[in-house]
Amino acid sequence: MALSIPVSEPIARRRLPAWLRGAPWLAFLVLTIVLVCAVGGEDILPDDPNGLNLADAFRPPFWAAKGSAAHLLGTDNMGRDILSRILAGSQISAIVCAYAILFSGCIGALAGMAAGYFGGIVDAVLMRLIEIQQSIPSIALALILAAAMEPGLTTVIVVIVLTYWAWYARIIRGEVMTLKGRDYVNFARVAGVGTPTILVRHLLPNIFNTLIILATLQVGQVILFEASLSFLGLGIQQPDISWGLMLADARQYITSAWWLITMPGIAIMLTCRSANILGDWLRDRLDPRLRQL
């Protein structure tokens, strides 16, 4: 008697391109929403984010008693629609993150690579600069800059860049110091490969992981830093809207109207977490050793 082994038919399924398999779709979605709102402007908002309506103040989210479908996430102390304000605020957050991370990452990576690779006097000078930078409290720096420059978006970005470039530089420097002792770097030097080529082809791709991780970690820190600067009045000013400013305004109603502070808090949390998840995924994608797993 022959045993027949049931063989399940292969399920015909449309496969995604390999590089998209296992992508973190939820994180993508959250960040897409933030980005769409950031570039979409006021037209896509459900309500005017600055429209005062004191009669409609402190309305809770729609699921709570006295909530209304007109204001899904409720209204704040001046009757402004919280959902609209969060969406409008994403613009500031996105701009601050983009510029602050781009500039501090680039400056920090360049400084770190130069210090780590060339060593000697270059390293000594850059390291002293980093130490000086790190010994100045960033809030004090913000105060000085705000006095000199006018509080606002540019000041926030400049303060964050000045605070964070040293953080990148330090980590990248250490990484480069290990990498430059690797035999593939030695081989390149032996074979007469030029220094710029060594930096770009052998060091940069190998510190890219670290850069991506640092950048995605920084998303959360930048949003919170902008929030604390705006909270202190050194950052974004009314009537501009930022998540940090919303937190600052909501502080005094924390016991009476929880949604004022919770909603922008959730927005910050979702964005930060999504950025971290996306960063992890991107790092794995970019590493040829992990790509096939």
Partner 1 sequence: MLEADAITKHYRTSRGTVRAVEGVSFSLPKRGTLALVGESGCGKTTIAKMVLLLERPSGGAIRFEGQDIATMPRLALKAYRRRVQAVFQDPYASLNPRLRVGRIIAEPILAHERPGRAALDKRIAEVLDIVGLPAAAARLYPHEFSGGQRQRIAIARALAPRPELMVLDEPVSALDVSIRAQVLNLLQDIQDEYGLTYLIIAHDLALVQHFSSSVAVIYLGRVAEAGPTGPVFADPRHPYTQALLAAVPLPDPDHVLSEAAAAGEIASALHPPSGCAFHPRCPHAFAACPASVPPPHAVADGHIAACHLLQETHA
Binding to partner 1 by CB under 8 A, coded x per residue (else -) over 187-206, reads xxxxxxxx--x---xx--xx
DSSP string, 41-85: GGGG-SS-TT---GGGTTPPPTTSTT-BTTBTT-B-TT--BHHHH
Q: At closest approach, how far in Å is the CB of 208 from partner 1?
A: 8
Should residue 134 be labelled a site residue for partner 1 when binding is judged by CB under 8 A?
no
Binding to partner 1 by CB under 8 A, coded x per residue (else -) over 253-272, reads --------------------
Scanning residues 82 to 121, which ones bind partner 1 (CB under 8 A)?
none
**Residue 236, Cα to own-chain centre: how many angstroms?**
17
Q: Are 85 and 241 in contact (CB under 8 A)?
A: yes
For residues 100 and 156, what is the distance between their CA atoms, to the nearest angstrom?
9
Q: Are 238 and 245 in contact (CB under 8 A)?
A: yes
Closer to partner 1 by CB, 85 or 202: give it: 202
Closer to partner 1 by CB, 153 or 188: give it: 188
Q: At closest approach, how far in Å is the CB of 203 from partner 1?
A: 10
Which one, of 9, 34, 8, lies nearest residue 275 by Cα? 34
Closer to partner 1 by CB, 189 or 273: give it: 189
H helix intervals, 152-237: 153-179, 183-190, 195-197, 204-231
Closer to partner 1 by CB, 10 or 181: give it: 181
Binding to partner 1 by CB under 8 A, coded x per residue (else -) over 147-186, reads -----------------------------------xxx-x
Which residues of the chain form contacts with partner 1 (CB under 8 A)? 182-184, 186-194, 197, 201-202, 205-206, 288-289
